[in-house]
Amino acid sequence: MDFPKRTALEQPPWWVKWEMLFWLWGAFFLNQADRALYGVVLPQLKKELALTPQQEGLIGSVFFWTLACVVPLAGYASDVVSRRKIISGCLFFWSLATSGTALARNWLHLMFFRSIATGGGEAFYAPAANALIGDFHQKTRSLALSIHQTSLYFGVIASGFLGGLAADRWGWRAAFWIFGAAGLVWALLIWLRLRDPPNQAAQTTLGQPTSWEALSILFRTPTALLLTLAFTADVFVNNGYMVWSPTFLHEKFSFSLQEAGGFSMLYHHVFAFVGVLAGGALSDLLAVRRPRARLEIQFLGLLLGAGFIYLMGRGETQTMIYLGMAGFGLFRGVYEANIYASLYEVIPQRLRASASGVMIMMAFLTGGASPLLLGMIKEQIGLAVGLAGLAVAFLIGAVALLAAWGVCFDQDRTKAQASSA
């Protein structure tokens, strides 16, 4: 598949990279608010559309599987086509699909609008946006990516409280109308203000990557594969948490939708916000002299987060469960500060969007099964056991990071630097 080459831009003023981050922050805010909305209104959906636990989980899983199947194409396109056009276009499409979700009359309608259309649209965002941030921010890469990541946490919190409030007052359909409309407005603003990266001319002189080169780079880089395994663990846990934690609080403590959606997202994501900013700033500081520090920080995030995940599922009181959610969020944020910054250390610059696209695909193909698996566990032995068991995934991810740190990171980083020169 051939795409037209992008046009090089002159070096912009210093503040432009922060303006770009502002617009992307808002887009990712809406991306994650929209993604979390299904779990927030799930109790109402279940009742009105007569969903079984397996159908509830399957709709969430198909969303992530759709995203996984589409995202490699999105990554490759983002390396050879205007990232500004991709980001604004996908935001418009998924916001339209979010509004369409309000029209669902049965679980098959819900599957199409929520899982296939919305998931396919959202797939194009992350590869283009993260690569764009990496292009604009060289010395502040981890910090910029961490700030961008905070929009995930605020988006999910907003979805929990505002989506739950809208559902309690006007029904679940209103929640999808509201977030869909907000996305359509932001898509127009993104189109008007976002810029393509300033270093495209340098990338063009190296030649446009072929589709095979772009899609295979991850598999030819051992560190990238191990980073993908760790990211898969993170995605597996987060997907299950996002879909089922509001239901967990709703059923365990008889909370309203606003309370269950809000509290399940608030404690976790406020502390994730703290963790991702601290992890990003610390990583940029330490990685100047020790690039391995990014992996060390990620390793500690997953290792320490596992214990709090177990506490979240097995706690008996609200205080214990909220403590588990908060600790899980804090160390999740520490890990997520370097998801793409670590990957970019071992991938040539012109292939970063493609590599991140394949990484996301692999993570969500496996991690997308989490909502379905928890739905099955819920019916057999209870949701609390399923949520506590997610700790195992974090431990597996920590082992993968330790292996990358000790075996192949230095060699892969040297190879990537030589290829980018």
pLDDT by position in tens, the chain (length 421)? 444 444 444 556 767 888 989 999 999 999 988 888 888 888 888 888 888 888 888 888 888 888 888 888 888 888 778 888 999 999 999 899 999 888 888 888 888 888 787 888 888 998 888 888 877 876 777 788 888 888 888 888 888 788 888 988 999 999 999 999 999 999 999 999 888 766 554 444 445 666 677 778 888 999 999 999 999 999 999 989 988 898 899 888 888 887 887 888 888 988 998 998 899 888 888 888 888 999 999 999 999 999 999 999 999 899 999 999 999 999 999 999 899 889 989 998 778 878 888 898 889 888 888 988 998 898 888 899 999 999 999 999 999 999 999 999 999 999 988 876 5
Rounded-to-integer distance, Cα 292 and Cα 284, Å: 11
State whether residue 189 is helix, strand or coil.
Answer: helix
Burial track 129-167 (b if 16+ CB lie within 10 A, e otherwise): bbbbbbbbbeebbbbbbbbbbbbbbbbbbbbbbbbbbbb
Domains of the chain: which residue ranges? 21-420
Q: Is residue 9 a contact partner of residue 200, using CB atoms and an 8 Å limit?
A: yes
- H/E segment holding residue 282: helix 257-287
Torsion of CA 251, 305, 223, 362, to 10 degrees: 0
Q: Is the CA virtual torsion 277, 227, 62, 55 positive or negative?
A: negative
What pLDDT was estimated at residue 5?
44
* Angstrom distance (rounded) from CA 334 to CA 275: 5
208: left (phi over 0), alpha (psi -120 to 50) or beta: beta
Which tokens in the block code for residue 167?
């559902």
Cα R_g (the chain), whole angstroms: 20
pLDDT score recorded for residue 6: 41
From 386, 385, 39, select the one nearest 242 (Cα to Cα).
Answer: 39
Q: What is the pLDDT of residue 3?
A: 40
The two tokens of residue 122 are 């959202």
Q: Strand (E) positions, 23-82?
A: none
d(CA 53, CA 379): 7
**Cα separation, 340 vs 131, whole angstroms:** 9
Q: Look up the CATH number of domain 21-420.
A: 1.20.1250.20
Closest CA to 44 of 258, 301, 213: 258
411 is written with which tokens?
Answer: 């060699």
